[in-house]
Amino acid sequence: MTTTPRITVSRTVGASPDAVWDAVADFTTMGERSPQCRKMVVLGAKNGTPATGTTTVNLNRRGPLFWPTWSTVTRWEPGELLEWRVPLNGSRWRYELVDNGDGTTTVTESRLVDGETSLLSRGLVAAFLGGNETFESELREGMARTLAAAAATAEQAG
């Protein structure tokens, strides 16, 4: 069973790129937005602000199952691009922001995999998470929910 190399969800938000950035780059609130990544703890950030090279420890949940991961921020370009890599499965998670020039921002969340996820990850997905197709479908739905929550936060902020 092959992993989809890119899963992408986009949303247009009625807010500036700075407001959208503030929402998606706030790792401390990821657990409030994401149905799967229930908590992100930032390690070693200067003044509490992540940057390229920052490490996070993450707690994920699906139904009664919990599992930890860790990630490293690989791109931190405020107002434009945020990406982190999860070494355990080889995936990269990315938020890209585009200023539409009309007071709105299009934000795209992507799960990227170069080739396939790790053998360990594929085995765990097959054994405990309903197989790759089901898991990736749930990821896509979760990404849409995460973006909706980030959009609500950004739009409230102005």
Tell me the pLDDT tens digit for each residue of 9-65: 999 999 999 999 999 999 999 999 998 899 999 998 887 789 999 999 999 887 788
- Which domains occur in the chain, in start order? 6-157 (3.30.530.20)
Region 113-141 average pLDDT: 59
Residues 6+ apart with CB under 8 A from 37: 30, 31, 58, 59, 60
Which amino acid, 135?
Answer: F
| 14 vs 17: CA distance, rounded Å | 10
Confidence band for 1, pLDDT divided at 50, 70 and 90: very low
Confidence band for 125, pLDDT divided at 50, 70 and 90: very low
More confident position, 158 or 108: 108
Cβ–Cβ < 8 Å for 158, 26:
no
User: How is residue 35 written in tokens?
Assistant: 């149905």
More confident position, 114 or 84: 84
| 116 vs 90: CA distance, rounded Å | 8
pLDDT attached to residue 48 = 76
Confidence band for 131, pLDDT divided at 50, 70 and 90: very low
pLDDT attached to residue 130 = 46
More confident position, 152 or 66: 152
What is the percent of the chain with per-residue pLDDT over 90, rounded to a whole number?
A: 63
